[in-house]
Amino acid sequence: MNQNSKIYNWLEVFAIAAWGSLMLKYWLTGKLNLLIHPDYFWLVISGGIGFLSVAGLKAWQLLRQRRILPVRHISLLPPGFSSTLLIVTAIAGLIFTPRVFASQTAMQRGVTDFLAATRSQPQAFHGSVKPEERSLLDWVRTLNVYPEPDAYTGQKVKVQGFAIHPPEFPPNYLLLSRFVITCCAADAYPVGLPVKLTEDRQAYPPDTWLEVEGQMITETLKDKRQLTIQANAAPKKIPEPQNPYEY
């Protein structure tokens, strides 16, 4: 085996091992939920273990064999380019932590108080849950089942989410939002509900995580009747949750 072939073979080993390590690193550090729905964790974990096993087996073969006949590949890319690219991207993933989607992304994707038919389905709705025990996503699912906002007037609410400042809202209103993942971060979409504050929203900058307690009212915003949270007092600022997404 010539020197170049040996280098290319070891590059393949490092690339496979790097991606296996990256998958398991996200799982062990609790960051995997920023990228994928928990139902699919097992695929990532088994894939990471599989990659490391393949890398170990290939490394063992390279160390034991003195001479390996070179395998000719038809490729438009220079030899070793794809392996090097995989190693670089894996190292970047090991160094940098994925960022949680925030208000700017939510504004770009469009925050809604309804779930599309291809997204989280109403069967996840549980009518027996007390209003004050519903999460923000529970309220959105409830609206999917029965969308008349007046039906919820006066019901108690206590929810958490991050603040968004829609420019078309009055100064004492903000949008409380959460991202929902159905498969992976690529299909994440924002849901939310308006909040009527007792003060100007500038006290709660965009992306600030809040716990809002109050009761439901119906307000007309953007020429649309919307279920709105009337805050009883100033929302409580909270740390970003360890798991910021809903499922």
Q: Is 160 exposed, middle or buried (0-12, 13-18, 19+ CB in 10 A)?
A: middle
List the end-to-end C-alpha distance of the chain, in Å, as a whole number: 51
Question: Counting Cβ atoms within 10 Å, is residue 201 exposed (0-12), middle (13-18) or buried (19+)?
Answer: buried
The per-residue pLDDT for 222 is 83
How large is the angle between the packed helices 3-28 and 81-95, nearest 10 degrees?
Answer: 30
- pTM of the full structure: 0.78
Mean pLDDT, consecutive 10-residue stretches, the chain (247 aa), reads 71 92 93 89 95 93 68 58 86 84 81 56 52 90 90 95 93 94 86 94 95 95 91 94 87
* Cα(189)–Cα(181) distance, integer angstroms: 7
184 secondary structure, DSSP code: B
Region of residue 113 (phi > 0: left; psi between -120 and 50: alpha; otherwise: beta): alpha
Tokens encoding 148 = 């008349």
Backbone angles phi, psi at 229, to 5 degrees: -90, 120
Which amino acid belongs to residue 82?
S
Burial of 17 (0-12, 13-18, 19+ CB in 10 A): buried
Whose CA is closest to 130, among 160, 148, 150, 156? 156
Residue 123 has what pLDDT? 43
Q: Strand 224-231 and strand 189-196: pairing? A: parallel
Q: Are 129 and 138 in contact (CB under 8 A)?
A: yes
- Check residue 77 and give its pLDDT: 56
